[in-house]
Amino acid sequence: MATSPTDHLTSIQQAVTALNKIAETFRQYGAPFGLGDVTAINTINSTSPIKVLAADAGRLSILFHNPSAAATVLVAPSQGANSATITVSTASFGGGFAVLPQDYLQVTGSCQTAWNALVVAGSTTSTNPLTIAVL
């Protein structure tokens, strides 16, 4: 017996709904294969932190990659628990996460605030790179 076009349409709609639920689950829990939008920054310095990401209430995950062969980059959210301001420096690392040369850091969950970066070891130039992918 032939299936009606309405039955086909209903099956397709159910499949699309199921795929959307799967995609949302991957977005929510930081799918390892989803990079999202990539930002390249080549001006990280050791003088003062610079803003590398603006706040984004819809952000689910951030991947920081340090392609430098020498510099360690400290990345830090601009706000921590209870909206306390986080200010990192070469003398004050608290609140920051060190991304070693040619390594990466993935942050999921509470990552919607703005993020700053600063070189803390290995290079004093103002042309240190940082690659950021957001989902």
Within this chain, do residues 23 and 48 fall inside the same structural domain, yes or no? no
pLDDT digits (tens, 9 = 90+) for 32-87: 556 678 999 999 998 889 999 999 999 989 999 999 999 999 999 999 988 899 99
User: Is residue 55 domain-shared with residue 86, that is, in the same domain?
Assistant: yes
52/91 same-domain check = yes
List the CATH number of the domain containing 117: 2.60.120.770
Using 50, 70 and 90 to split pLDDT, how confident is the model at 97?
very high
Lowest mean pLDDT among 11-20, 53-62, 111-120: 11-20
Between 7-21, 61-75, 94-108, the lowest mean confidence (pLDDT) is in 7-21
Taking residues 99-110, report their average pLDDT: 92
Average pLDDT taken over every residue of the chain: 85
Instruction: Return the SS3 of 43.
Output: strand
Structural domain boundaries enclosing 15: 1-31
**Vertex 62 angle, CA 128 and 125, to 5°:** 10
Handedness of CA 98, 104, 108, 112 (dihedral sign): positive
**Domain shared by 114 and 60, yes or no:** yes
Residues 80 and 128 in one domain: yes
Examine the pLDDT at 18 and tell me if it is beyond 70: no
Q: How confident is the model at residue 14 (pLDDT cuts 50, 70, 90)?
A: confident
Split into its structural domains, the chain has a count of: 2
Confidence of residue 30 (pLDDT cuts 50, 70, 90): low
Looking at the fold, whether 47 and 105 belong to one and the same domain comes out as: yes
If asked whether residues 23 and 45 sit together in one domain, one would say: no
Instruction: Note whether 111 and 97 are same-domain residues.
Output: yes
